[in-house]
Homo-oligomer: A and B are copies of this chain.
Amino acid sequence: MLDMENERFIRISKALGDDTRLRIVQFLSNCCCGCGTGEDESELNACLCVSESPVPSTGASSRLSHPTAGEVCCQINGNPKISSTVSHHLHELEGAELITLQKQGKSVCCALNRGTLQDMASQLLQLANEDQSSCCQSSNRQKSACC
């Protein structure tokens, strides 16, 4: 296991080791607006997840490509406005690079960072399939009196 630092691995594991945060990741994972750029109107129009806020100058609706923090919060605990707790969890997930947060107007858009999940999966597979033939001669073994 060379690539990912333990510190990062632990940060991600901790982030995923909380019920609220896991549910946030799950919601963002199967949310159809979690990956669009907001430019392809046709797919966005069919999606209930997008935020809809009227633009007064044109009278048209502006649509965001990702669910807002408030919408995520609503999905998680039914709270109509974002709680400080969910806000905190979102930033925790952002710190672990599991999601990205982007300010759009007075809202914050949340998007899943699928690459981090893939990295994590490959680290786990590496741990599962680690070459077992090298441990005894290897230098990564701690030299101690006891073993």
Contact surface of A with B, Cβ cutoff 8 Å: 1, 6, 9-10, 13-14, 16-19, 22-23, 25-26, 29-35, 46-49, 67, 70-71, 74-75, 78-81, 114-115, 117-118, 120-122, 124-125, 127-136, 138, 140-142, 144-147
Contact = CB atoms under 8 A, between A and B. Distances in A.
A31 B128 contact: no
Given A48-B147, A75-B141, A121-B122, A25 B136 contact: no
A78 B6 contact: no
Please state the number of chain copies in the assembly.
2
Closest 8 CB pairs of A and B: A13-B17, A117-B128, A14-B17, A74-B146, A121-B124, A80-B146, A29-B130, A13-B16
B131 A30 contact: yes
Contacts of A133: 32
B136 A32 contact: yes
13 contacts: A10-B22, A13-B14, A16-B17, A26-B127, A34-B132, A67-B147, A74-B142, A74-B144, A75-B147, A117-B125, A118-B124, A121-B125, A124-B124
